[in-house]
A and B are shown apart, each in its own frame.
Chain A
């Protein structure tokens, strides 16, 4: 399994949240034990020199905050479609910023389309934060976790 530098990718995620949505956060071990209320899950598959999936779970409240921050609109003007779209954009932009750790020299990184759906339950959160390399953040008081899962590729596949 290829290991990504968790500390640096946490820092990158926090920069993206701040730059795109004016949201402030920090890495948080305490947040690991706090499953988000009304959790939402977003994922984005990619292929190229590395093949894998970026997966994010956070609260619907934070997805709304993100949409509000990105658009500069009050939360009561935002619907769930915009919150889902904001979370989808977040995984899209985050993956773009993580590219330097995914290796792009031989083949371009081909990204799929973000898939955003309400998570089935708090168990999704627990499963995600227990994965090796999971990054857990507390953003504007809300928990957010993500993982970058990489498949092992043979030299020929690379």
Chain B
């Protein structure tokens, strides 16, 4: 089994760093999709099944919280695991994120081993 993942972040460097860390993670990766904004992410999710979404919260236009709300309102993505990736997740926001079923939070900057452990914990997968 390989993992089909989606990275949603408006920063090209944040997407590149996450992609690089995933490629180095020894996780069993399949297609790795990227979206530069919330609208593109929702469009991709409407036609593609992914096993896990890495979601930035602060994006122009449709932000991460709105993406999360719309995902949860769609039966096809209501249960898709989401890891929020952010430099600025306020403790006061955590209950709202938990209520929307966020599986985990990844604080930037992060190390590849932290990312690997997080994905393993969320999806119950082992090294590829």
CB within 8 Å of B: which residues of A? 16, 19-20, 48, 67, 70-72, 81-82, 85-86, 88-89, 92-93, 95-97, 99, 104, 107-109, 111-113
Contacts and interface: CB of A to CB of B under 8 A. Distances in A.
B109 A88 contact: no
Given A92-B108, A113-B60, A85 B13 contact: yes
Contacts of B88: 92, 95-96, 99, 109, 111
Nearest to B56: A92
B109 A20 contact: yes
Q: How large is the interface on B (under 10, 10 to 19, 20 to 34, 35 or more residues)?
A: 20 to 34
Contacts of A88: 11, 13
Interface stretch (B42-50, B70-78, B89-97, B116-124): B89-97
A113 B93 contact: no
Contacts of A85: 11-14
B90 A104 contact: yes
A3 to B, nearest CB: 22
Contacts of B91: 104, 108
Given A82-B12, A113-B10, 6 more contacts: A89-B87, A89-B108, A93-B109, A99-B90, A107-B92, A108-B91
Contact of B87 (A48, A71, A92, A108): A92
> Closest 9 A-B residue pairs measured CB to CB?
A96-B87, A108-B90, A85-B13, A108-B92, A20-B109, A93-B87, A96-B88, A92-B87, A111-B88
Given A89-B108, A93-B87, A95-B87, A104 B92 contact: yes
Contact of B90 (A16, A71, A86, A109): A109
